[in-house]
Amino acid sequence: MSETAEDINQPPPAALKDTSLHAKIIDGTALSKSIVASVVSRVQQRQARYPAFKPHLVIVQRGGRADSNVYVRMKAKAAAECGFGFTHVHLPADATEAVVTAEVVKLNADPKVSGILVQLPLGEGIDAEGERRVTEAIAPAKDVDGFHAYNIGKLASRASDPLFLPCTPAGVMRLLDEAKVEIAGSRAVVLGRSDIVGSPVAALLRRRDATVTQCHSRTKGLESIIKEADILICAIGKAEFVRGEWLKPGVAVIDVGTNYIPDATKKSGQRLVGDADFASCAAVAGYITPVPGGVGPMTVAMLMDNTLRGAERQWEEERDRKVIPLPLDILEKVPSDIEIAMAQTPKQITQLASEIGVLTTELEPYGSYKAKIDLSILDRLASRKNGKYVIVAGITPTPLGEGKSTTTIGLAQAIGAHLGKPAFACVRQPSQGPTFGIKGGAAGGGYSQVIPMDEFNLHLTGDIHAVTAANNLLAAALDARMFHEATTPDKSLFTRLVPAKKGKREFAPLMLKRLEKLGINKTDPNELTPEEARRFSRLDLDPETITWNRVLDVNDRFLRKIKIGMADTEKGFERITAFDISVASETMAVLALTTDLADMRDRLGKMVVGTSKHGDAVTADDIGVSGALTVLMKDAIKPNMMQTLEGTPVFVHAGPFANIAHGNSSIIADRVALKLAGIDEGDDPSRVGYVFTEGGFGADMGLEKFCNIKCRVSGLVPDAAVIVATTRALKMHGGGPEVVPGKPLAETYTKENLETLREGTKNLGKHIQNTKKFGIKVIVAINQFTTDTPAEIELVRKAALEFGADAAVASNHWAKGGEGALELAKAVVDACESGEPDFKFTYPLNIPIAAKIEAICKDVYGADGIELSEQAQKQIETYTAQGYGDLPICMAKTQYSFSHDPKLKNVPTGFTVPIKSIRLSAGAGFLYPLLGDMQTMPGLGTRPGFWEVGVDVATGRVVGLF
């Protein structure tokens, strides 16, 4: 136990002034000041490079012992002097052991805390065994007192080093070194056997090759043992126990004792002395530490040193992201996707999280191989610079496929598992509709997949089910509201909406929002006039304007148009409505575009379900359901983490349609990945990682919406774009024969055909040129097939460069995993490191709605112009009047052509885009013009994919899933 502040300020013992003394005084006060100054300097040097670096010491104290209060104040003062953060957790004297331990465990998990110290003794009610359990609850990496069994045990072993040395023993060794006492080969006697001083000091001396004898009060022949000592450590706890005549001349005496003896000359009536009689020992010893002014100040100084070293270690560990790749057993004949996925054993998701720097408190595992990430990670990593951001898009889709998802995963594997850089793939969660229909899942393919593939393509963590529940709650609420408004008089309707509870009426919080919207500045329901109460109660929703459908995550063509309200209990209030597939819900688009929980609540409340008979937009807030929607979505907002076949991280989050909504995974998942892939200020730029996020369908769809919608909301700018193409798909755009499911491919697609391929590269060229207009570097990924010839690959490569691509590289990640995408990955890295993007949007938000639509059609699709229907023109007028004119545009059109007509392949020209109607997604924050009839509920074909899907009952494994 160190001295009090009063003791430290006492003058040294009178004997110290006697110049005839033989011993040289080892000044612990001066040395401690030097150590603290060094700590201050090291902190400042590191903060000069890394401004976010901040050591933080926490002391947990139970009760209010006077001496403990003094020690805490001393340590707090030293921490402030060193530039540390400091927290004093002061628990009541009757706090149980469990309460103290729980506080310690919470601090273990706090990434801002560098060191934890439990101030001992804990006081009445917690015995020595309880104190041991409390101190061992401290994480060894934060045990700056050095008392944890892990650190003490490592100290006793010559084969390993503890994370921290106990402060007082470490101070003893520094004092010996300061005096230049030769330790190796010397005989050292440690007088004392406590776990805090005696035993650790003995271990430290042995590690320095001293021959150590450890004694205690019951040691026989103690005086003769001490007489042989070259170094004597006094830690027996007896005032002035050791006498000078016991010492060997020239011995180094380190006095750790803190004992009080009566002294009438002191105001307190007592004086602090050590375990050695200073006057007699100083006359014989070669070196001696005074009490006070010796070991005591060193204890606090070494605590500061430990705290800094703990912070330095923690800082490096948090930034040291080492993903351990999973080996691939690559077969020459590539098996089915599900066979490849099932043959790989994934890492435990907790292990992957640790590798990429996700804390246990930020991870919510769902089984062994998937987890949600808590949004608090964004606060912890807020000061970190983002990693490199790459959008993966493709040419105009064909039935032959381009392999965007496969390329996204292959790139992440190449950079993360082979180039050794942090790499993250961010992809959408697939709907069960295509999974059991004809398209298949979205986990990638071949040796570039997300695993476990079956979990990825099915329920995952239930986000789509949450979207379904929220969407349908709103649908139920609006129909119920219309029913009650139609069957209830004004006064009764208001009374039911604002019932008296215990004789008092109060508005629900969301009701106050509606009152504000209506311009009614009252908060007491009893103060509303009958007219105000009527306006508040009646939404007067026009049934003909309702745009909100129910949803289901199944392809079901017979729900595309339904009649509801058929039961007798609905009293004839029938109406025609429909089901959409769940991923077409605006709720899903909100999930993908939201930035945090508060923003999601606001967006869900703004969702418009229709228009009132007075021309006002009716929202989820008006219906009073937005709070409940947020509750249903509060877990879905957290991104899901999975892994690739090679054990690199993948974030799977949200799944909005790419031809109705904006078709990109969530902003939140991208932000989390970019922070985990990022670097701190002062870091070597070569440590930066990469995030690959995918835009749905062709670059005229997913990438255009990524830039004009997602980037506006997120404020993020891509460093590069990868456009995926295959020779087969390009040949189809070049005039190749139609592909019929179930029939063999024509020779055009399986044999070299340079003329057709050359014509098809025009489609690739248009996508390259469109992407360059956004100011983004473009790398073309030629997704290679076994039938591709060198001449075909070279033709596409040269054409891509002629159209303005920054690089064009063939990639064989489907057959070889990350290794097959290495050259493509290097091209991406080179492009991202070659300079900052000069990003620009296609249109400003403050121009008329029609002008924004026309800008996309002309600049991106290559149209001559647009033609607005009468309905679309009226809708533009309505949305502008309602205040929605400044929203971005999300075009709803066919994915199979640059135009509105799926039959127009390659790069059509000379067409005008007809705008049939325009719909509003106020919560998601965009307007979506409809370019023809768009199906929001797919149907099942004659031979859907579910025929193959089943379970191996012997193993429980899914079979037949792609």
Q: Are 474 and 629 in contact (CB under 8 A)?
A: yes
HEC states along 215-281?
Answer: ECCCCCCHHHHHHCCCEEEECCCCCCCECHHHCCCCCEEEECCCEEEECCCCCCCEEEECCECHHHH
Residue 563: strand pairing partners: 576
603's CB contacts (< 8 A; 6+ apart) are 590, 593, 594, 923, 924, 925
Q: Quote the CA–CA distance of 921 and 607 in Å, as a whole number.
A: 6
Q: Is 948 helix (H, G, I), strand (E, B) or coil?
A: coil
Query: Mean pLDDT across the chain, nearest whole number?
Result: 92
Query: Tokens at residue 514, please?
Result: 């509606």
pLDDT in tens, 39-72: 999 999 999 999 999 999 999 999 999 889 989 9
What secondary structure, in 3-state letters, does 333-398 show?
Answer: CCCCHHHHHHHCCCCCHHHHHHHHCCCHHHEEECCCCCEEECCHHHHHCCCCECCEEEEEEECCCC
State the Cα–Cα distance between residues 342 and 455, nearest whole angstrom: 11
Give residue limits of the domains in the chain. 24-309, 337-461+635-740+811-824, 464-633, 849-930
Strand partners for 782: 725, 810
pLDDT score of 11 more than 60: no
Q: What's the confidence (pLDDT) of residue 343?
A: 92
Contact 637, 463 (CB under 8 A): no
Q: Residue 367, class by beta-carbon neighbours within 10 Å (0-12 exposed, 13-18 middle, 19+ buried)?
A: exposed
Q: Is 493 helix (H, G, I), strand (E, B) or coil?
A: helix
Would the pLDDT of 19 be above 70? no
Catalytic member of 7, 27, 61, 75: 75
Q: How many CA atoms lie within 13 A of 180 on its CB side?
A: 1
Distances (CA, A) of 537 to 492, 502, 513, 527, 544: 10, 22, 13, 14, 20
Distance of CA 499 to the CA centre of its chain: 44
Output the CATH code of domain 464-633.
3.30.1510.10
Of 107, 114, 99, 92, nearest to 138 (Cα)?
A: 107
Is the distance from CB of 574 to CB of 841 less than 8 angstroms?
no
Res 755: pLDDT: 96
d(CA 93, CA 96): 9
Indicate if the pLDDT at residue 683 is higher than 60. yes
751 noted as active-site residue: no
Residue 21 contacts by C-beta under 8 Å, 6 or more apart in sequence? 15, 282, 283
- Per-residue pLDDT, 16: 40
pLDDT tens digits, residue range 845-879? 999 999 999 999 999 999 999 999 999 999 999 99
* Domain 849-930 listed as CATH 3.30.450.20: no
At 391, is the pLDDT very low, low, confident or very high (cuts 50, 70, 90)? very high
Q: List 449's β-bridge partners, or say none.
A: 444
φ, ψ of residue 427 in degrees (nearest 5): -130, 165
Average pLDDT over residues 513-538: 94
pLDDT reading at 344 higher than 90: yes
Query: What average pLDDT does the segment 528-551 reach?
Result: 94
Tokens of 190: 């440690």
State the CATH class of domain 24-309: alpha beta
Residue 354 tokens read as 């640790």
Percent of the chain at pLDDT exceeding 90: 81
Question: Could you tell me which residues come within 8 angstroms of residue 593 by beta carbon, excluding any fewer than 6 positions away?
Answer: 603, 662, 666, 667, 709, 710, 713, 924, 925
Question: Is 347 marked active-site?
Answer: no
Q: How far is CA 927 from CA 325, 662, 849, 854, 912, in A?
A: 43, 11, 9, 14, 20
Tokens coding 1:
């136990």
The region of weakest confidence among 331-335, 604-608, 801-805 is 331-335
- Is 119 part of the annotated catalytic residue set? yes
Write down the residue that tokens 């037949």 correspond to.
960
Alpha-carbon distance 299 to 172, whole Å? 9
Check for a shared fold between 464-633 and 849-930.
Answer: no
Instruction: Name beta bridge partners: 445.
Output: 448
pLDDT at residue 321 is higher than 60: yes
Catalytic residue from among 7, 61, 119, 580: 119
* Local structure of 202: helix, strand or coil: helix
| Tokens 């749905």 belong to residue | 696
Which pLDDT band holds residue 657 (cuts at 50, 70, 90)? confident
pLDDT at 8: 46
- Average pLDDT on 762-788 reads 96
Higher per-residue pLDDT: 217 or 359: 359
In this predicted structure, the answer to whether residue 949 has a pLDDT above a threshold of 80 is no
Phi-psi region of 401 (alpha: psi -120 to 50; beta: other; left: phi over 0): left
pLDDT exceeds cutoff 80 at 935:
no
- In this predicted structure, the answer to whether residue 14 has a pLDDT above a threshold of 70 is no
Instruction: Give the closest residue to 620 by CA, choosing from 595, 574, 587.
Output: 587
The pLDDT, as a whole number, for residue 956 is: 72
In contact, 690 and 387? CB cutoff 8 Å: yes
In 3D space, the residue among 565, 643, 24 whose CA is nearest the CA of residue 290 turns out to be 24
Q: Is the peptide bond before 902 cis (omega within 30 degrees of 0)?
A: no
Is residue 715 within 8 Å of residue 386, measured between CB atoms?
Answer: no
pLDDT at 438: 65
Q: Say how far apart CA 914 and CA 923 lie, in whole Å.
A: 26
d(CA 90, CA 67): 14
Mean pLDDT, range 120-142, rounded to an integer: 94
Q: Per DSSP, what are the bridge partners of residue 641?
A: 371, 651
**Could you tell me which CATH class the domain 337-461+635-740+811-824 is placed in?**
alpha beta
Greater confidence (837 vs 1) lies with 837
pLDDT per position as a tens digit, 418-461: 999 999 999 999 887 777 776 556 788 999 999 998 888 888 99
Q: How far apart are CA 676 and CA 691, in angstroms?
A: 9
**pLDDT given for residue 947 in this prediction:** 59
What token pair was written down for 725?
């193409």
Residue-wise pLDDT for 252-291, tens only, equals: 999 999 888 988 888 878 889 999 999 999 999 999 999 9
Quick check: 12 pLDDT over 80?
no
Q: Which residues contact 359 (CB under 8 A, 6 or more apart)?
A: 109, 111, 353, 377, 380
Q: How many CB atoms lie within 10 A of CB 640?
A: 26
Residues in the chain: 962
Closest CA to 850 of 871, 873, 878: 873
Question: b or e along 433-454 (b: 16 or more beta carbons within 10 Å of the residue's beta carbon)?
Answer: bbbbbbebbbbbbbbbbbbbbb
Give yes or no for a contact between 703 and 390, defined as CB atoms under 8 angstroms apart.
no
CA 570 to centroid of chain Cα atoms: 47
Q: Which of 562, 554, 613, 619 is nearest to 920 (CA)?
A: 619
- pLDDT surpassing 90 at residue 318: no
Those residues whose C-beta lies under 8 Å from the C-beta of residue 127, and which sit 6 or more positions away, are none
3-state secondary structure 405-471: HHHHHHHHHHHHHHCCCCEEEEECCCCHHHHHCCCCCCCEECCEEEECHHHHHCCCCCHHHHHHHHH
pLDDT of the residue at 923:
95
Q: What is the pLDDT of residue 569?
A: 92
Give mean pLDDT, residues 924-938.
85
For 110-148, where are the alpha helices, taking DSSP H only? Answer: 128-135
CA distance 829 to 808: 13
DSSP annotation of 583: G
Nearest to residue 588, comparing CAs of 575, 574, 604, 573? 604
Strand 649-652 with 640-644, pairing: antiparallel
User: pLDDT band for position 2 (50/70/90)?
Assistant: very low
Residue 518 pLDDT > 90: yes
Give the mean model confidence (pLDDT) for residues 925-930: 94
Active-site choice (7, 27, 143, 145): 145
**Calpha distance 873→123 (Å, rounded):** 79
